[in-house]
A = this chain, B = another copy of it.
Amino acid sequence: MPNISKKGGAMPESPIRKLVPYAEQAIKDGKTIYHLNIGQPDIKTPQIALDAVKNLSLDILAYSRSEGSETYRIKIANYYEKNNIEVTHDDIIVTTGGSEALLFAFGSIMDADDEVIIPEPFYANYNGFSTASGINIVPVISKIEDNFALPPIEEFEKLITSKTKAILICNPGNPTGYLYSQEEIQKLASLVKKHDLFLIADEVYREFAYDGHKHYSVMQEPGIEDHAIMIDSVSKRYSMCGARVGCLVSKNKTVIQTALKFAQARLSPPTFAQIASEAALETPQSYFDAVIEEYVGRRNTLINELEKIEGVKVAKPNGAFYCVVELPIKNADHFAQWLLEDFNINGETVMVAPAAGFYSTPNVGLNQIRIAYVLNKESLIKAVNIIKEALKIYNN
C-alpha cells in the first residue's frame, strides 16, 4: 500500500473533531446539546441575498472570471470605500471563502519552511493552511489577563529571522474577540516596514465591533500599501457561511498578479454564491444594527453569567462573537468530553471548544475554552448554568 505524505500526516484535525463522536452519542442518548463550540451563527441571512439566487434566471451555470465578476468587485470596492478603505476593483480577487484567500496569500508570499508570526490563541485553521502550504507558524503568546491585546512589539521582533515573511492577525479575533486599536495596527505597521515583511489581516469580523469601538483596517494605515494583505469573507457579515465567498485585497500589484495565477488554476469562485454575495452588499444598515445589538446583548449576558461562577476568568470581547474563558480545571479537553458523556441537567448539556487547539505552543491554554455566542440569550443563560453546575460536580 502506498504511503500518504508527511504533510498529510501532519495536517491537524479540527480541534473539536475528537469531541464529535461523544456529541453524536449524547444526541443518540436523547440529550439536548447547547452548541457553544461552533462559529455558525443562528442569525438569518439577508433576504435580499437569498432572493437574488431564487429569482435568478440562467440557462447555463457558467464559470465566472477567475478573479471574480467585475460588477461584484466594483461593488466590493464601493463597500470598502464606505468603510474608509480606498481600493479599486483591481486590488480585489474574489475567492472561495476567506480560507482560499489565506491559502492564496500564503502561496503568493511564502516558500517551504518560511515563517509567519501570529499572536496566539489564533483561528485553529491557520494551522491547517500553514501545513498545507508547507510553511511554519511562529506564535507570540497573548494573554487572557490583557484581554488578548497585542503582545509587546519586542516580542514579535525577537522572533523575526531570515525565514520570516509575514505577520498575520485576525481583527477582531477568533477566538479572542479582541479588536485591535489603531495604535496597535500602527505598531505592527512600523514593524513590517522596518523588517520588510507582509502584514496579513483577517478582517472577516469587521462589522462586529462593540461599545463604540471602531474597526481600523490595515488597508487604512498609510505607508504599508505594499505590505498589507487583507483577507475578507461574506460568511459572518451576512450569516452566509455556506456561500464560500471571500476575497483577497492588496494594493501591492505583484501580490495581486501572483494570487491571480493561483485563482486561474482553480478556474473560478462559485457562481451562485457570488450572485448572492453581490446582492448581499445591498443589505440595509438596519440589518447590521439589529445584529450588532443582538450580539452585544448576548455578550453582556454571557459575560455576566460567566462572572458569577467562582474561579472563572473571562477575557471581555469587544468584537466578533467569541470569547476565551479560563475554567478552574486542569484539562478542558477532558472536561468538554465529560460534559457530553457524563453530565446533564434535565437531559441538557453543553458542547464547548477546548482552547488548546487555538494555541500553537504546546501546553498553553489547557484550562481554557472558546465560547461562540451564536445562541440566543435564553439558551446562553441555560448553557452557562450547566457549566456552573457541572464544575461543582467535576471538581469533586
Contact with B along A45-78 (1 / 0, CB 8 A): 1000110011010111111101000000000000
B residues in contact with A262, CB < 8 Å: 8, 11, 128, 132
Interface contact B50-A258, CB-CB below 8 Å:
no
Of A2, A6, A114, A239, chain B has the most CB atoms within 10 Å of the CB of: A2
Residue of chain B at shortest CB distance from A272: B272
Q: Does A322 contact B (CB under 8 A)?
A: no
Contacts of A20-50 to chain B: CB distance below 8 A: 40-45, 49-50
B residues in contact with A264, CB < 8 Å: 13-14, 17, 125, 128
Interface contact A96-B270, CB-CB below 8 Å:
yes
B residues in contact with A276, CB < 8 Å: 61, 272
Least CB distance, A134 to chain B, in whole angstroms: 6
Segment among A105-113, A331-339, A344-352 that sits at the interface with chain B = A105-113
In the assembled complex, the Cα of A127 lies from the Cα of B262 at a distance in Å of 11
Interface contact A271-B254, CB-CB below 8 Å:
no
Q: Does A129 contact B (CB under 8 A)?
A: yes
Given A4-B254, A97-B266, A99-B266, A40 and B54 touching (CB < 8 A)?
Answer: no
Residue of chain B at shortest CB distance from A3: B109
B residues in contact with A60, CB < 8 Å: 41-45, 239
**Chain copies in the assembly?**
2
Interface contact B258-A11, CB-CB below 8 Å:
yes
Q: Does A5 contact B (CB under 8 A)?
A: yes
In the assembled complex, the Cα of A96 lies from the Cα of B242 at a distance in Å of 12
Partner of A134 from B54, B112, B261 at Cβ < 8 Å: B112
Interface contact A2-B198, CB-CB below 8 Å:
yes
Interface contact A11-B265, CB-CB below 8 Å:
yes
Q: Does A307 contact B (CB under 8 A)?
A: no
Residue of chain B at shortest CB distance from A113: B112
Least CB distance, A312 to chain B, in whole angstroms: 29
Interface contact A270-B243, CB-CB below 8 Å:
yes
Q: Does A267 contact B (CB under 8 A)?
A: yes
Contacts of A202-248 to chain B: CB distance below 8 A: 226-227, 239-244
Interface size on A, residues (CB 8 A): 83
Partner of A267 from B59, B99, B254 at Cβ < 8 Å: B99
Q: Does A300 contact B (CB under 8 A)?
A: no
B residues in contact with A273, CB < 8 Å: 270-273
Least CB distance, A22 to chain B, in whole angstroms: 17
In the assembled complex, the Cα of A110 lies from the Cα of B53 at a distance in Å of 39
Residue of chain B at shortest CB distance from A64: B242
Interface contact A8-B99, CB-CB below 8 Å:
no
Q: Does A290 contact B (CB under 8 A)?
A: no
In the assembled complex, the Cα of A261 lies from the Cα of B10 at a distance in Å of 10
Partner of A258 from B8, B64, B100, B198 at Cβ < 8 Å: B8
Q: Does A393 contact B (CB under 8 A)?
A: no
Q: Does A142 contact B (CB under 8 A)?
A: no
Interface contact B63-A241, CB-CB below 8 Å:
yes
Interface contact A61-B56, CB-CB below 8 Å:
no
B residues in contact with A269, CB < 8 Å: 244
In the assembled complex, the Cα of A331 lies from the Cα of B325 at a distance in Å of 65
In the assembled complex, the Cα of A285 lies from the Cα of B60 at a distance in Å of 19
B residues in contact with A3, CB < 8 Å: 109
Q: Does A252 contact B (CB under 8 A)?
A: yes
Interface contact A242-B271, CB-CB below 8 Å:
yes
Q: Does A169 contact B (CB under 8 A)?
A: no
Given A44-B60, A272-B273, 7 more contacts at CB 8 Å?
A1-B252, A5-B109, A8-B109, A61-B242, A132-B262, A244-B269, A244-B270
5 contacts between A and B (CB under 8 A): A2-B226, A7-B107, A63-B241, A244-B269, A272-B272
